[in-house]
Chain A
Amino acid sequence: MTDGNRTSGSQPGAEVPAAGAESGAPGPVPGPAPRALGVPDLSLVVLIGATGSGKSTFAARHFKPTEVISSDFCRGLVSDDDNDQSASGDAFEVLHFIVGKRLAAGRLTVVDATNVQAESRAQLVRLAREHDVLPVAIVLDVPEHVCAERNAARADRAGLPRRVIQRHQRELRRSLGTLEREGFRTVHVLRGAREVEDVEVVRERRFNDLRHLTGPFDVVGDVHGCRAELETLLDRLGYALVRDAEGRAVDAVHPEGRTAVFVGDLVDRGPDSPGVLRLVMGMVASGRALCVSGNHENKLGRHLDGRTVQHTHGLAETVEQLAKEDEAFRAGVATFIKGLVSHYVLDGGALVVCHAGLPEKYHGRTSGRVRSFALYGDTTGETDEFGLPVRYPWAEEYRGRAAVVYGHTPTPRAGWLNNTLCLDTGCTFGGKLTALRWPERELVDVPAERVWYEPTKPLAAEAPGGADGRPLDLGDVAGRRTVETRHMGRLTVREENAAAALEVMSRFALDPRLLPYLPPTMAPCATAKPSDEADARGEGFLEHPREAFAEYRAAGVREVVCEEKHMGSRAVVLVCRSAAVARERFGVTGASEGVSGAVYTRTGRPFFDDRARTERLLGRVRDCVERAGLWAELDTSWLLLDAELMPWSLKATGLLRTQYAAVGAAAGAVFPEALGALEAAAARGVDVASLLDRQRGRAADAAAFTDAYRRYCWRVGEAASGAGAAGPGGLAGIRLAPFQLLAVEGRSLAAVPHTEQLALIDRLMAAERALLEEAGDAAPEAGGPAADRTGLLAPTRRLVVDTEDEESVAAGVAWWLDLTAGGGEGMVVKPVGALVRQPDGRLVQPGVKCRGREYLRIVYGPEYTRPENLRRLRARHLGHKRSLALREYALGLEALDRLADGEPLWRVHEAVFAVLALESEPVDPRL
C-alpha cells in the first residue's frame, strides 16, 4: 500500500479478472508524470475528506460539473443556504435521489461530501449496488492546518470551529482501514496537498465493455467437454486449428480474422474437458477468442482453489480428467477461470454474450447479482420434478435493444426469442453444438458424436412446444391479452373471444405444432353506389369492382392484381419434404408421428377426417414442388401455402344440408303448388295478377339460388370416379387452388409481390401437368383415378389492373362481369406489392373481395336483388370488418415472421390463437 493505490481483489461478487482478461485501459503509469487514478467509467466515486480538504476543487478539476453532486449544492437546493447544517437530512435525500437517477441511466457520478462517517458511506455503497455499479473511494487526507487555512479563506466558512475539522480528521483515520470491507471496489488514498494536486483521473473501461470490438464473431454454445465436436464446429466455421507437438489443439485461427466467443460451460460432463480448456485458453490468450464464465467454470474454479464442492453434474468427470494433466496446466486453468468475466457487451452495444442470460438493466453493469444472473439465470430457488433449479423465463419478458446470446439451458433447437438466443443445444447430452455467426445471424451446428452424458431431464417434452424449450401455457392465450406485432403494434384480444377460441382450439383444431398460421378474414369492397335505373330493371349490384379499384387508388396503390375467387373452402397447406422434416422442424412426435404436413381450415380444423387422404394430397403437392425445383430454389424443406380447396360441398356438407339445400328444397317444392293455385284462381277470374307475378319472380329467384349453390357442389373420391377407381380417401374430384406461398424455412413470403407468387404457383401447375403426362405415358391402359388425370391443382385466373388508368379499370370490370356471369364467386383485388402501407404508415388492406351478383344469393338470400331488398341491404357497415381484416392480417404476418425467425412454438401459437379469437368478434357474417 505504499503508493496508496489499492485495488481490492477480495471483494465478493465483484468482477476481478486477475489475469488473462483484457482490461481496456493501461494500468498506472510509472514515472514523473502525474500519478494516474484509475476509475471505472461507470462507477460511483465517493470523495472522502474533511471540510476544507479540497474535494470540490478536486472534483471540478477531474470531472464534468454535471457528474459531481455535492452535499453543499443540495443544501442550497432545499434551503437556499449551502452551509445550513440543519438542512442536511433533506439535502442528502435529494443527493441520493439524483445519484440514483444518474446511476440508473448509466452515468458516472461523483459524490462531493465529507463522507467521513461509515454510515453515510454505507448508504452510497448500497445505492451503487442497487444500480449494479462499482463504488470507488478517493480519500483526500490533507493535514488539519491546511484545511483550516482554506476554510478561513472562505467567507462562508471562516467561522467554522476548529474542532469540526478535528472530528472529521479523526473519523477519516478510523475509516481508512475499513473502506474495502465496506464494499468499495477501488480505494485511492491521496496523502497531503501535494499528492492531491499531482494526480490524474483515468477512466477505465469496464472489463465487460468491449463495445469497440465489432467482430465479426462466432458465438459458440455450451461445449461441456465435447472437444471433438468443438474442433469440428470450428472447422465448419472456417477456423484453422493449431496443434502442439502432441497433436493437441491449442489455438484456432480464422483467415478473415473472426473472433470466437464462448458462452461458458466449457467443462464437465463431456469426455475431454481439459482438451476443450486447452483449446479455448489458447484462443483467448492469442486474442482469437473471448470467453465468459459459466456456472460450471465457477464451480471448477472453487474446486481448484481447494474449496469443498460437490462433484455432481459432471464435475467428477472433469476432476478425473484434470488429474491426468500436470500441475502447471491445472494452475493455468485456475488462473484462466479467475479471469473470466460474467458477460461482454460487444459490437457497439448491439450484442451481449453471457452464460445464462441477462436483462437489459444489467448490461454492462458490475455487481454480485449481475454476475449471479449471468451465471445461473433467474432462479426462483425452487427445484422441479427432476431436481433441477426452476428457472424463470426471463427472455420471455426481454424487450432490450441488444441481442443477448447465451447458453446454460439445454434446448433441442436454437431459436430467437425477443432478440435473445440460447445456444445450448445439449451437445453433451447427444444433441448438437451450435454457433451463431454475428452479425450474419446464421446458425451453424454439428451433431454430437454420441450421448456423452445421460440427461436428468428429457431434452424435449412430448407436449407441443416442449421441443422449443417449454410447452404451451394457458397464460399464452387465455383471458384478455395484448399481442405485440411488427406491423400493427399492440393488438388486443378480448376475454370472451379468447374463451371461444380456447374451446375451438382445444377441442377441434389440429395439434398446434402443425398449425403455424391462420388466414385472416377479408373485407368486401365498398358497397356499390345505388343506381335506381339498374335496380328497377333488377340489375342492381351490391358489390362492384369499380369500388375496389377506387379504394386502392385512393390509398395510393396503382397496380392491383385481380385474382379469381374460387368458391370452395379456405385451406392452409403445410407440406414438408418428408415426415422426417415434419418431425425435425415442427417437432411432430408421438401420435402424430409420420405425418408430413397438414391441411386445415380457417379455424385450424383438419380438412379431412382420414389421415390417408391428407397424406395423399400432401404427396401430390410435394411431388409438384419437387418437380418444379422449388425446394432447392427456395432453400427449404417445407412450404406453407394459402389455398382454396374445392368443392365447397366437401367441407360444408353440414351447412348445405341444414341451410342451403334445405332452403332450395323448400322453395322448389312450394312454388309449383302455390303458382298452380294462383293460376287456377286467376283462371276463375279472381284478381291475383300482381301476386302471381311476384310469386313467379320469387320462384325464379329461388331457382337461381339453387343453381348458385349447386355450382359449388360435386362428388369426390369414390363417388366421383366410380366404384373402386380411386377408393375411399382418393383425391378424385378434389381441386386445390393455391394462391400464395406464405412461408418457407427462415423466411416469410408474405411480402413477395403477388405477380411473383403466382408465377411460382404456375410452375407448380406446370409441374403437375408434366407429372400427369408422364404417368399417362407410362400406363395408358391403367387410366388411373379421374383426379389423377385431371390434376389436383387448379389455376387461379388473374388480371393486373392499373387503378389510375380508366381503360385498365374498365377492362377489370369487364373481366369480373365475365367471370361472374356464369356464377363465379367473384374476385379478390390485391395490391401487387402484397404488403403495402399508405403514405401515413398505415397498412393497406391486403385484399378486398368483390363477389359476383349470382353468388351473393347464397349470402344475402335468393331474393336479394329485388330493388326493395337491395335498397335496404346497401345499408351495411364495413368499418368493423375492415378493421378486423387488418388486425387479423397483422397477426397472421406476425405468426409467419415468428415462424420464419424460428421462434418457439408458444410465440407462434400466441399470434395464431389471436387470429382465431378475433374471428369470434361480432361482425356481420355476410361481409
Chain B
Amino acid sequence: MFLTITTTGTTDRPATDLGFLLHKHPDKAQRFSTSYGTAHVLYPEAHTERCTAAMLLEVDPVALVRRRSGKGRGGAPDAALARYVNDRPYAASSLLAVALRSVFASAMKGQCAARPELVGRPLPLRIEVPVLPARGGGALVEKLFRPLGWSVRAEPLPLDETFPEWGDSRYVRLVLEGACDLAAALRHLYVLLPVLDDAKHYWVAPDEVDKLLRAGEGWLECHPEQRLIVGRYLARRGALAREAMARLELERLAQTDDAAVEEIDNAVDEAADTEERPVPLAVRRRDAILGVLRSTGAARVLDLGCGQGQLIGALLKEAQFTEVVGMDVSMRALQEARRRLHLERMPERQAQRVRLLQGSLAYVDGRLKGFDAAVLSEVVEHVEPERLSALEYAVFGAARPRTVVVTTPNVEYNVRWESLPAGRVRHPDHRFEWTREEFRRWAEDIGARHGYAVTFGPVGPEDPEVGAPTQLACFSREDASARGGGKHGTKDARGSRGMSGAERVEGAAEASRAGGGPVGGKEAAA
C-alpha cells in the first residue's frame, strides 16, 4: 500500500518545506514500526519546485492471518480476513489510515515546532493513491472529496486485463489536487480511506467515536455525505460481533465450493428491499395476513420462514394468538428475530407464547403438526421450483394445519416498479416470481391434492391491468370440522374412492383389537 503527497513551490516558498510539515527529512528514508508492518517514508523527488513524499506500508500477510488471538485488537476477527490471499498488502485500506496517523501524528495535529509559520497555510497539493478500494466506485469518491475542495480523479482499475469481461475491480486510482492545509488533507485521508474501503475494520474500538470527531473537526460537520461517512466509519461495530458468531459454519461451506460467503449467507437482507420504496408493502402484507388469521379464529399459528420475525411481533400483540411458532432455515435470521423481538427481555407470560425454531420445509417435520394456521409469507419464491413438491408435502400433506396463508409477489406488477429493471426479479434470491394465473394454478392443484379449499386476494394497491403487487392465497382444510385424521376432500367429492367415517377407523380398530393380547382377543379363536 502506497501513497504520495506532492507539492510545488518557489524559491521563497520551497516545496521541500513539506519535509518540515511532515517531520520527515527529504534526504532520508525512514522506517516506522506499526501494528501491521513497517511503514517507510521517503522522497522520490525533493527540490524547490517539487517535492514528493511517499509512504509505503509493508504489511506482513502471514502475521495478519496468524495474529488471531486478539480479536478486535488487530487480530483477524473473521475468516474472511484470515485469508493469506488478501489485498491488504497492496491496497490503501484502513491499515494505511492507521499508519498515516501514527507516522504523521504531529503533522495531522498541525504541529510544526521548527517552522510554525508553515502550519495552516494552504499548499498546492497533489495526492496520489494508486490503489484505493472504493465501495461505491469513482462516483462516491467524488462525492466525498469534492465538497472538501479537492479536484478528484478516480479511475477504475480493471480486474484483469486478460479477462476484460470480468469488468472493473473495486479499486480506483485516485488523484486529488487542490490547495489545502496539509493537516486537514491528512485528516481527510485518515477518515475517508477506511470509509471508502468499507471493509471490516477490525480496529473499531470504543474510542473510535472520539477519534472520528477529532479527525473530522472543521470539515465533517458540514459535509453533505456526513451520514454515510459516520455510518460507514462506525457502523460495523455492532454487526461485527454478530457476524463473528453466525457465519463461520456457513463460511466454511462457501469455501468448500470456492464461493464467496455472501453468495450463501444472504438470508438477512442488509440493503432495503427494492419493493418497499413506493409503499410500505410489507406492512400491508402483514395486515392482510393478520386479517385472514383473525377471521379464522386461529389461536396456534406457525410462521414458516419467519425471517427476522416482523410478523411474529405483530401476532404477539393480539391476544387471539396464544401460541406463535416462528420457523426459519437460517440461523442468522432467527438470531436477528430473537434480537428484534427482545426475546431475552420479554415478560415470561408473553415469552411463553412464542417459540423460534430452525427448520426446513424441504423435510417433513413432526413439530409442525396440530396447528390452527400456518403462514408462508414471501417464502415459496425462495424455493427452487424443483423442490416445491417437498414444501407442498411438508405443509399440506404432513403438518396439515386448518388454514394456510401464502403470499408471494405478483410478477405482472413488476412493470410498475420504476426502480426494477425489466425482466429482473424483486430480490436476488427469488428463484421465480409468478403471475396471478401461475399462482392460482399452483394453489388450486395443491388444494385438490390435499383437500383444501382456496381463496385468493390482492395485497397492496390494485392496478386494473396488472393486479396488486402481492398476491395472497388462503387455504382452508375441507374436513376441518371433522375430528382428527381427516379424509381426502377432493376424492371424497368425487365420491368413488372416499371411505365412510366408520370404515376409516376400522383398520385401526381391528389392529388394536388384535393387539389386545390373548385375553379378550378374538382372532385366534376364528
Q: Which residues of A contact B (CB under 8 A)?
A: 10-16, 129, 183, 295, 298-299, 301-302, 305, 307, 310, 312-313, 338, 367-369, 371-373, 375-377, 379, 381-390, 454, 456, 461-464, 466, 470-478, 496-497, 499-508, 510-512, 521, 569, 589-592, 601-603, 605, 648-649, 651-667, 669-671, 673-674, 676-681, 684-688, 691, 694-695, 698, 702, 705-706, 710, 713, 715, 719, 858-864, 869, 872-873, 916, 919-923, 925-926
Contact = CB atoms under 8 A, between A and B. Distances in A.
Contacts of A310: 502-503, 506
Contacts of B366: 473-475
Nearest to A666: B90
A507 B29 contact: no
A681 B389 contact: no
Given A461-B393, A662-B170, 15 more contacts: A377-B511, A381-B511, A474-B359, A474-B365, A502-B329, A507-B267, A521-B256, A591-B385, A648-B258, A652-B259, A680-B45, A684-B44, A859-B85, A864-B84, A869-B62
A569 B257 CA distance: 8
A508 B264 contact: yes
Contacts of A713: 163
B515 A661 contact: no
Given A655-B258, A677-B52, A922-B252, A379 B499 contact: no
Contacts of B384: 511
Contacts of A686: 27-29, 42-43
Nearest to B44: A680
A776 B523 CA distance: 75
A-B complex: 5 closest residue pairs judged by Cβ atoms: A387-B504, A500-B249, A463-B393, A13-B518, A861-B84
Contacts of B131: 665-666, 669-670
Interface of B: 1-2, 4, 27-29, 40, 42-46, 52, 54, 56, 58, 61-62, 66, 79, 83-87, 89-91, 128, 130-131, 133, 157-160, 162-163, 165-166, 169-171, 173, 248-250, 252-253, 255-260, 262-264, 267, 329-331, 358-367, 382, 384-390, 392-394, 397-398, 400, 451, 484-488, 496-497, 499, 502-508, 510-512, 514-526
B81 to A, nearest CB: 12
Contacts of B43: 681, 684, 686
Contacts of B90: 663, 666-667, 669-671, 702
B85 A381 contact: no
B16 to A, nearest CB: 12
A511 B387 contact: yes
A601 B257 CA distance: 7
B386 A387 contact: no
Contact of B163 (A313, A454, A661): A661
17 contacts: A305-B526, A387-B485, A466-B393, A472-B390, A506-B329, A511-B387, A511-B390, A602-B256, A602-B257, A663-B85, A680-B44, A702-B90, A859-B85, A863-B61, A872-B62, A921-B252, A925-B79
Contact of B250 (A464, A500, A679): A500
Given A472-B390, A680-B44, A506 B362 contact: yes
Given A312-B499, A474-B364, A13 B523 contact: yes
A654 B159 CA distance: 12
A502 B499 contact: no
Contacts of B44: 676-681, 684
B252 A919 contact: yes
A396 to B, nearest CB: 14
B258 A368 contact: no
A589 B512 CA distance: 36
Contacts of A674: 2, 54, 56, 130
B166 A657 contact: yes
Given A383-B485, A602-B257, A658-B260, A471 B364 contact: yes
Contacts of B259: 651-652, 654-655
Nearest to A497: B249
Nearest to A921: B252
A603 B84 contact: no
Most buried by B among A387, A666, A695: A666
A858 B363 contact: no
B518 A386 contact: no
A472 B519 contact: no
B250 A920 contact: yes
A129 B518 contact: yes
A854 B259 CA distance: 22
Given A471-B390, A590-B389, A684-B44, A376 B526 contact: no
A129 B517 contact: yes
A510 B383 CA distance: 11
B515 A916 contact: no
A666 B87 contact: yes
Given A669-B130, A677-B4, A684-B43, A858 B364 contact: no
Contact of A503 (B86, B331, B487, B507): B331
Given A14-B518, A503-B267, A299 B510 contact: yes
A295 B510 contact: yes
A536 B293 CA distance: 74
Given A369-B517, A663-B87, A919-B252, A385 B29 contact: no
A378 to B, nearest CB: 9
B390 A464 contact: yes
A371 B54 CA distance: 91
Contacts of B367: 474
A602 B382 CA distance: 22
Contacts of B508: 379, 381-383, 389-390
B86 A665 contact: no
Contact of B85 (A461, A504, A861): A861
B165 to A, nearest CB: 7
A444 to B, nearest CB: 30
B363 A476 contact: yes
Nearest to A589: B389
B84 A872 contact: no
A887 to B, nearest CB: 15
Contact of B382 (A16, A507, A669): A507
A503 B362 contact: no
A911 to B, nearest CB: 16
A860 to B, nearest CB: 5
Nearest to A334: B526
Contacts of B158: 665
Contacts of A694: 58
Given A383-B504, A652-B258, A916-B253, A661 B519 contact: no
A861 B260 CA distance: 17
A249 B370 CA distance: 51
Contacts of A688: 29, 40, 42
A687 B367 CA distance: 73
Contacts of B382: 507
A666 B171 contact: yes
B487 A386 contact: yes
B258 A389 contact: no
B291 to A, nearest CB: 28
Most buried by A among B56, B390, B397: B390
Contacts of A373: 515
B54 A677 contact: yes
B249 A499 contact: yes
A698 B40 CA distance: 15
B506 A312 contact: yes
A238 to B, nearest CB: 36
A118 B487 CA distance: 49
Contact of B249 (A496, A649, A656): A496
A501 B87 contact: no
A473 B399 CA distance: 12
Contacts of A496: 249
B523 A386 contact: no
A667 B130 CA distance: 10
A376 B510 contact: yes
A338 B526 contact: yes
Contact of A389 (B260, B329, B385, B511): B511
A625 B245 CA distance: 47
